[in-house]
Each structure stands twice: as C-alpha cells, then as structure tokens.
Structure 1
Amino acid sequence: MMPDPEPSAMPHILVADDEAIAAMALERFLTRKGYRITTAVNGIEALEFHKQDPADVVVTDIRMPRGGGRELISSLRSLDEALPIVVMTGYMSLNDEQGVSTDDRLVVLQKPIEIERLLQVIKDFTGT
C-alpha cells in the first residue's frame, strides 16, 4: 500500500460557491479523487484564500453575494493571468455572456454540473 501523498504535493482546488450543499458535495468528491480542497462562500473570501494559499485551479460560480464570479476572475487574473479557472453557472452560455472572456485557461460548465466532466477538466489543467 502506498503512503498518502503529502498535502502540499496534492493539487489544490479552490471552490467558490454560495450554495453550501453543492460546495460540500464537490469538496467530498474531489477530496476522494486526491485533491486538496478549499471552499469559499463568495468571491471576496475566495480571493483572500487564494492570496494565503494559491490554488492550482479555481472552480467558481458566477452569481454569489459579496464578490461574484466575474469580479473574482478579474481579481485572480490580475494576480496570475495563467491561473486555470472553471466557471459553473446555470445563468449563461458561452455565446451570450458578456464580461467573461474564455480562453484555454478558462472553461465554462453549465449547471447542473456533470461531475465527471468537471473532473476531466481539472485533470487536464493539473496534469493528474
């Protein structure tokens, strides 16, 4: 049996979602898949967590109180323009949203999230 990897060696995923049940479910799922997870209830908290302990990938909702996803993405990009970001939303599609520019470091997934698709996106970003 292999020893558990050191927490610092595990890819760090920051999840920002004001829906507590969804965030907890995502945290449980990704932890079981071998990732270190930090959850935040809004964009302001997520940005502070990222400054204290930078994430390898950020998974964020768009609509949240106190610092929504657009503001969080803008703030994160000012710190690290190459940071991989996954946007989860039930309110937009890639074609009709203004204010979220997509590139190869930003992926938009429609809610309800297909968890295996999210996992594949995270694996692609982290190389795990």
Structure 2
Amino acid sequence: MRVERAPHVLVVDDETALADIIGAYLEASGYRITVANDGWQALALYERDPADAVITDFAMPGMNGRDLVADLRRRRPDLPAIMVSGYVSMQQLDLDPLLLLNKPVSLATLTRHLRDLLGNTGSGQ
C-alpha cells in the first residue's frame, strides 16, 4: 500500500503571529508546515528540508519576498509560490509564475489557491 506524504509548505512572514496562524491553519488542512520569520531563515530551512511550495509576505526586513522566491527558484525553478502583500503589484514583482494575493486574505482562500497550485505540479492532497 502506497502512503501519500503531506505536501510540505514553507510559510514566511516577519509578523510571527500571522505566520504561526497561517501555519496552524494549513497544518490542520493536512499540510506539513515549516515557518520562517525572514528570508534568510527561510533559505536555511529550505536547504535542510526542501518544501513543495512557499507562501511568503513581500515586505520583510533584510530580504523581501520577491528576492526570496527568486533565490528559491534558482534551486528549484518550478517551485509553486504565493506572495501575500498589501504593498506590491504583479508588475513590480517580475516573477512568473507567481500568485499574488492582497492582504488581508482569508485562510480559506489561501488554502484553496495553495491546493490548486500543488495540484498543478503533481503534488497535493
């Protein structure tokens, strides 16, 4: 009998409480979650345990979400990514493909988009 593994999602946001809330919701939805609070921590965690997808805030100190996704995609070009921001437009991001959701976003909407992205890459639940 084949055992399906839960898709691994890296959640990155410098607002610790928000990252933890998103992580807990996604975990309850059947995902395996790793939470990072900045881009540098996210890269280190990804190196130890690569994720199937990333959800990141755009505006973070040190390394913004755009630079984080670009760096992760040098390691895995097809990495599904969702950017959550209240400050940026797709034209400013210049990352394709990338899903941009405006804050505030409902957890149900975020989860639906994540499921769609992972389904398109052969992962998912």
Asked whether the two chains share a fold, i.e. TM above 0.5, the reply is yes
Deviations 1:30-84 (A, max 9, x none): 0100101000010011011111111011000011112211210110111111000
Q: 1:102 Cα deviation (Å)?
A: 4.2
Q: 1:114 Cα deviation (Å)?
A: 2.1
Distance 2:32 2:6 in 1: 6
Query: Which residue pairs with 2:122 in the alignment?
Result: none
Query: Which residue pairs with 1:111 in the alignment?
Result: 103
Distance 2:69 2:103 in 1: 18
1:1-128 correspondence to structure 2 within 5 Å: 9-94=5-90, 97-98=91-92, 100-103=93-96, 105-127=97-119, 128=125
Query: Which amino acid in the other structure matches residue 29 of structure 2?
Result: K
Give the structure-2-normalised TM-score: 0.87
Higher relative contact order (CA 8 A, sep 6+): 2
Identical-pair percentage? 40
Give the structure-1-normalised TM-score: 0.85
Deviations 1:63-122 (A, max 9, x none): 11122112101101111110000000011233xx42x1243x410000001222211111
Q: What's the RMSD between the two structures over aligned residues? A: 1.5
User: Conserved in 2, the CA contact under 8 Å of 1:16 and 1:42?
Assistant: yes
Question: What are structure 1's unaligned runs of at least 5 residues?
Answer: none
Question: What are structure 2's unaligned runs of at least 5 residues?
Answer: 120-124
